[in-house]
Chains A and B, each alone.
Chain A
């Protein structure tokens, strides 16, 4: 008899409080954390709907979607991960361009125009970039390093953050002397250090509706809000240019 009691207690405890009514889960690239948290707050208050945000590098989220993660919407920092998921039939329609993001160079002290000698100087501290494999900004950062012919010359100075947020955290806590991150970070940590926008390194942030969405109607209404004037204004507050597509 005690066994039955135990099992019923366990069964009760494992009942996850899944309030499926009026709830969507958005998996978004870490680089969009600041603007998306604001946008979601407004949406939650106005439409009295629960919006859960999960932030990680776009690649990690994409692979979670392949593992049937319970996400409704996938917002990627680039086009590629969204396309890959579309080709696997995991999204409802292709990735929709939301805004353009740019790469940014941050340093704790001003850098000269020719950064090669400075960065390869053994006395120069650590340099952080997001993971080139999973974070689109990381891949761009690595491309930038290749352009400067630095990709093999940094030895053990290169710190690979798992995503943009982690790199930002390194900047914020002075753990690195230089970092390559998203230009949106400049609007969160602007007062710190020196920022340079690398305009030739651009990413198209995209939105995908996932097939795993529990309530596609609800998800679509949030996506519509993402493309609204109000949301676009918030995005541009963080240096993200609206795309001309709708």
Chain B
């Protein structure tokens, strides 16, 4: 029981990162290969969660998914799912909130590739997507790893969005960051210390891994 917030945090971070890979890679394709007049607006939109206070995102999600909203009612009446106060809702919130942490490393990686790679793809008769998937993506492995680790670590530390749409329900939405807040409020400081220490070490270790593996991969692929 005492570890359940940590396990929940890890689960949330893991699922969010997976989803972000699934969403992030196609989005990077659109961002880098299909530039147009709309690109600066898209870039700004996808970078919003970086600067937006988490409570803004939490608030809009609450409004969007609440049982009184059209979407909320459709979800609960037709599909029988309720996203507010559930783990699934947390995943949605985290995916939006950690999106820039996946996208930015990926698009930086794409920018650093030489244009000759794209030209080779064209010579080989690949479509834009094929070039992207077979030639470009494998060459930004360090960026892929960095994006994943940053998204994971960022989701671990999330508090505002989680509290607003999750509701601090034990074993369901009480992730470690929220549990710390709860334990401090309950004056159970030893638990607060435990969760904080675990989160701190996890975050630090992840960042170390990110730094060392990215460097190592860079040497292999440079």
Nearest B residue (CB) for A70: B85
B binding-site residues for A, Cβ under 8 Å: 11, 14-15, 18-19, 21-22, 62, 66-67, 76, 82, 84-88, 91, 167-172, 182, 184-187
Q: Are A14 and B85 in contact (CB under 8 A)?
A: no
CA gap between A56 and B170 in the complex, in Å: 13
Q: Which residues of A134-170 are within 8 A (CB) of B? A: 163, 165-166, 168-169
- A169 touching B87 in the complex, CB below 8 Å, given contacts A16-B172, A54-B169: no
- Distance in angstroms between the alpha carbons of A234 and B62 in the assembled complex: 38
Taking a contact as CB atoms under 8 Å apart, the answer to whether B87 and A16 are in contact is: yes
Nearest residue in B to A61 (C-beta to C-beta)?
B167
- Whether A165 contacts B186 by the Cβ 8 Å rule is yes
Q: A13-B11, A33-B186 are in contact. Are A54 and B86 (CB under 8 A)?
A: no
| Cross-chain contact A54 with B168 (CB below 8 angstroms) | yes
Whether A68 touches B18, Cβ cut-off 8 Å, given contacts A16-B87, A54-B168, A54-B170, is no
Residue of A nearest to B88 (CB): A14
Count: A-B pairs, CB below 8 Å: 70
The answer to whether B171 touches A17 (Cβ under 8 A) is: yes
Q: Which residues of A contact B (CB under 8 A)?
A: 3, 6, 9-10, 13-14, 16-18, 25, 30, 33, 52-56, 64, 67-70, 163, 165-166, 168-169, 172, 188
> B49 → chain A, closest Cβ, in Å?
20
CB distance from A192 to the nearest CB of B (A): 11
- Which chain B residue lies CB-closest to A53? B170
A53 to B21 Cα, complex, angstroms: 36
Q: Out of A3, A68, A165, A168, which one reaches B82, CB within 8 Å?
A: A68
CB B205 to nearest CB in A, in angstroms, measures 22
